[in-house]
Chains A and B, each alone.
Chain A
Amino acid sequence: MQTERKIRVLIAKPGLDSHDRGAKVVARALRDAGMEVIYTGLRQTPELIAETALQEDVDVIGLSILSGAHKTLFPRIMNLLKKKGLTDVTVFAGGIIPEEDVAEMKKLGIKEVFGPGTTTELIIKYVCENVPKRT
């Protein structure tokens, strides 16, 4: 029997906003691209997101937020991930994040920020190319 590694992705929605259209479309596109996708549902606290990523041992986390609270919530999520030792997980973000906040988000360790109008193909490609190597 052969080794079969599958890409495991967590799509998480922090913040109080309920705009899950984008998150769901991305979750579905990644699943249809052959990945195993866990979607958290709306309004997840940073603690829940980090703990889910830990237990599910995901390779990639996609954070979707449209409420404007990313400057409060993303630093907390990234800190918790670090605290739990999840430093080899690729984190990307999507939603409404103003251009001028992107650099700040990247400094936190968020590898990429996708704005509205990003194709699902691009996201699939990005995820495939950014699965962390595991030793």
Chain B
Amino acid sequence: MTKVEELTQGVLSGDVRSIARAITIIENNAPEAKKLVSSIYPHTGKAHIIGFTGAGGAGKSTLIEKIVREYRRNGKTVGVVAVDPTSPFTGGAFLGDRIRMQELSTDPGVFIRSMASRNYPGGIARATKDAVKVLDAAGKDIVIVETVGAGQSEVEIIKVAQTVVVIHAPGLGDEIQAIKAGIMEIADIFVVNKADRENASKTAMDIQAILQLNNKETAWKPPVLKTAALTGEGVPQLIEKIEEHRLLLEKGLKHKRSREKAEAELIEAIKEKVVSSVLEDLRKEGKFEQLVGKIVEREIDPATAAEKLLKKALKDAEA
């Protein structure tokens, strides 16, 4: 048996060590990564993938911990991928989300993996979507992705998750502004966490108000829920809503979403492939370096340089 076959078998049987190793291989983009993903891919598509995003300090990890517990009570197995930011200066990362869910570690029905963003934009890591596939193939009923939570527009999650939950909390300052920009459109469910704080209702109303501005006719109107992660208040209701959303997806929306997701992934894969192979060729011929020099000297602008380079490369590709 090859290493990839062995790992695939391990993953499919739910072996923890195989799952962990498979994710590492994907994360490091090791030589066997591509083969591994393609060999587990046929076994995916069963899990419900839920993304959690929102600004830091909103209590995402604590809430996720409570949600996982609730799913476990309902007899579901759960995988979690928690993404933390990589420092652009040192390349290092401190993976701290796990701490809030640490007690779940010894539950055999739960697998938690921390992941550094490794400077991938949009709040997740490049390897996140494939790590999710590993957990899906390993038979987890629910796969949860927690985004970086740096308060940026973390919209990449839409390409990974089927249901996106945006978490907010009162007293985080002007993040309603941030919600308006970008995140609003990707949310399937809004959660105002720390509901025990004053202003929680006001925050919820603010979000409702913004949502009402968007009066497009849609099959799903994103609800605004209140939770208190510390006590677990509101968690069963949140899970109910997630389930409702899942059922709606099943009924038809899913097909649309799946197609959208597949399309996005395919485009991404093409981009990656094209860029890396074209770049490799260009570098080989030395033309690339030459043009970089010219751009520095202001002899040519980057866009024209790219056009010039690609004209030839694309012709070659056609041939």
CB-CB under 8 A for A33 and B98, given A6-B28, A48-B105: no
Asked if A36 CB lies within 8 Å of chain B CBs, one says yes
Residues of B within 8 A of A5 (CB): 28, 30
Asked if B212 CB lies within 8 Å of chain A CBs, one says no
Q: How far is the CA of A47 from the CA of B104 in the complex (A)?
A: 11
- Contact, CB under 8 Å: B114 / A56: yes
CB-CB under 8 A for A40 and B102, given A1-B272, A6-B91: yes
Asked if A117 CB lies within 8 Å of chain B CBs, one says no
Asked if A118 CB lies within 8 Å of chain B CBs, one says no
- A3: contacting residue among B19, B23, B31, CB under 8 A: B31
- Contact, CB under 8 Å: A54 / B116: no
- Contact, CB under 8 Å: B20 / A84: no
Residues of A within 8 A of B96 (CB): 38-39
CB-CB under 8 A for A41 and B102, given A1-B29, A31-B90: yes
Q: How far is the CA of A102 from the CA of B24 in the complex (A)?
A: 32
Most buried by A among B16, B28, B94, B113: B94
| B112 nearest CB across to chain A (Å) | 6
Asked if B178 CB lies within 8 Å of chain A CBs, one says no
Asked if B95 CB lies within 8 Å of chain A CBs, one says yes
Residues of A within 8 A of B118 (CB): 4, 6
**Interface 1/0 per residue, A50-66 and B, CB below 8 Å:** 01101111000000000
Residue in A closest to B86 when the chains form the complex, CB atoms: A36
Asked if B190 CB lies within 8 Å of chain A CBs, one says no
**Size category, A interface:** 20 to 34
| A135 nearest CB across to chain B (Å) | 8
Q: How many cross-chain pairs have Cβ atoms below 8 Å apart between A and B? A: 90
How many residues of B are counted as interface, with CB atoms below 8 angstroms from the partner's CB atoms?
Answer: 34
Interface residues of B in 15-62 (CB under 8 A from A): 16-17, 19-21, 23-24, 28-31
Tell me the interface secondary structure of chain A in the complex. Answer: mixed
| B279 nearest CB across to chain A (Å) | 10
Q: How far is the CA of A61 from the CA of B16 in the complex (A)?
A: 18
Asked if B87 CB lies within 8 Å of chain A CBs, one says yes
Asked if B181 CB lies within 8 Å of chain A CBs, one says no
Asked if A44 CB lies within 8 Å of chain B CBs, one says yes
| B62 nearest CB across to chain A (Å) | 13
**Interface 1/0 per residue, A1-26 and B, CB below 8 Å:** 11111101000000000000000000
Q: How far is the CA of A38 from the CA of B82 in the complex (A)?
A: 12
Most buried by B among A47, A54, A56, A85: A56
Residue in B closest to A33 when the chains form the complex, CB atoms: B92
Interface residues of B in 77-122 (CB under 8 A from A): 86-87, 90-96, 98-99, 102-103, 105-106, 111-114, 116, 118
- Contact, CB under 8 Å: A44 / B93: no
Residues of A within 8 A of B94 (CB): 27-28, 31, 37, 39
Asked if B276 CB lies within 8 Å of chain A CBs, one says yes
Asked if A105 CB lies within 8 Å of chain B CBs, one says no
Q: How far is the CA of A54 from the CA of B21 in the complex (A)?
A: 9
| B133 nearest CB across to chain A (Å) | 17
A-B contact pairs, 17 of them (CB 8 A): A1-B29, A5-B30, A31-B90, A33-B92, A34-B90, A38-B98, A38-B114, A40-B102, A41-B102, A44-B102, A52-B102, A52-B105, A54-B20, A55-B19, A56-B98, A57-B21, A84-B16
Given A3-B29, A36-B116, A39-B94; 19 other pairs, CB 8 A cutoff: A1-B272, A2-B29, A3-B31, A6-B28, A8-B24, A31-B93, A36-B92, A37-B93, A38-B96, A38-B114, A41-B102, A48-B103, A51-B105, A52-B98, A54-B20, A55-B105, A56-B113, A57-B20, A86-B17
Q: Please name the 8 residue pairs, one residue from A and one from B, whose CB atoms are nearest each other, closest first.
A: A57-B20, A31-B92, A34-B91, A51-B105, A34-B92, A57-B24, A5-B28, A38-B95
